[in-house]
Chains A and B, each alone.
Chain A
Amino acid sequence: GNSVTQMEGPVTLSEEAFLTINCTYTATGYPSLFWYVQYPGEGLQLLLKATKADDKGSNKGFEATYRKETTSFHLEKGSVQVSDSAVYFCALSDPLGAGNMLTFGGGTRLMVKP
């Protein structure tokens, strides 16, 4: 079956540091890949997505590239801010499925200190 593995947190960084959160996946076929973010006290929000190999998703300074050869979709940001503190979830959807159901990783908590 489909699965997503992401690095365990918490990840603690100082403001303006470089961020990488690793995500790898297992899937049949060619899934679409997503990063969702959950800010404190809020619901899950889509951060970025990529629907085919070598696509790069980007939003709010975050980027992730769909790497089919390494089955990875690592999240990066060049300079984090305190406001980026949240839990980040990597997810995939199976294009062979009837709908667009998402399979999530376990989440990575990011804490950015001033």
Chain B
Amino acid sequence: GAGVSQTPSNKVTEKGKYVELRCDPISGHTALYWYRQSLGQGPEFLIYFQGTGAADDSGLPNDRFFAVRPEGSVSTLKIQRTERGDSAVYLCASSPRGLAGGMDTQYFGPGTRLTVL
């Protein structure tokens, strides 16, 4: 079946602009996660959705970052007034139920590479 997809695969924007990054999770997965991966580093957690609600947004770096999942499937990560430091690969993952303790497997999308000039 189809895996997690993310669009666009690449996004180049200018400092100060607004961007939206889209994630289509695996059908039926209730849990959805956003991570950010800077060059040469491991992914860092941003936000976690359980259904339509953001259950944990403690990883969002500041109030320029916002994410939604209005119907409990597709999610959009929104970044306002982009800065050069926002340049990274943004990864989305989904899992069937978001169970704690490693009982669920997270399936990752290919990522969106964001470059802020």
For residue A99, CB closer than 8 A to chain B, the reply is: yes
For residue A42, CB closer than 8 A to chain B, the reply is: yes
The total of chain A residues at the interface (CB under 8 A) is: 31
Q: Establish whether residues B108 and A45, one from each chain, have CB atoms under 8 Å apart when the complex forms.
A: yes
- Which single residue of chain B is at the shortest CB-CB distance from A42? B110
- Which single residue of chain B is at the shortest CB-CB distance from A89? B42
Q: Give complex CA distance A91, B109 in Å.
A: 17
For residue B67, CB closer than 8 A to chain A, the reply is: no
CB distance from B95 to the nearest CB of A (A): 6
Q: Establish whether residues B50 and A99, one from each chain, have CB atoms under 8 Å apart when the complex forms.
A: yes
Q: Give complex CA distance A95, B98 in Å.
A: 11
Q: Of B13-21, B69-77, B99-107, which binds chain A?
A: B99-107
Q: Give complex CA distance A31, B103 in Å.
A: 11
Q: Establish whether residues A4 and B42, one from each chain, have CB atoms under 8 Å apart when the complex forms.
A: yes
Q: Give complex CA distance A104, B35 in Å.
A: 10
Main secondary structure of the interface of B (DSSP, over half): loop
- Which single residue of chain B is at the shortest CB-CB distance from A95? B101
For residue A100, CB closer than 8 A to chain B, the reply is: yes
Query: In the assembled complex, which residues on chain A have CB atoms less than 8 Å from the CB atom of B109?
Result: 43
Residue with the greatest number of chain B CB neighbours at <10 A, chosen from A31, A97, A100: A100
Q: Establish whether residues B106 and A102, one from each chain, have CB atoms under 8 Å apart when the complex forms.
A: yes
CB distance from B6 to the nearest CB of A (A): 9
Give chain B interface residues in 38-93, CB to chain A under 8 Å: 40-45, 48, 50, 55-56, 59, 91, 93
Give chain A interface residues in 20-49, CB to chain B under 8 Å: 31-34, 36, 42-46, 49
Neighbour of A43 across the interface among B31, B44, B50, B108, CB < 8 A: B108
Pick 26 A–B contacts, CB within 8 A, sort by A.
A31-B102, A32-B102, A34-B102, A36-B108, A43-B4, A44-B43, A44-B91, A45-B108, A46-B106, A49-B105, A51-B101, A51-B102, A51-B103, A89-B42, A93-B101, A93-B102, A99-B33, A99-B56, A99-B98, A99-B100, A100-B100, A100-B101, A101-B48, A102-B43, A104-B35, A104-B43
A-side interface residues toward B, CB under 8 Å? 4, 31-34, 36, 42-46, 49-51, 89, 91, 93-107
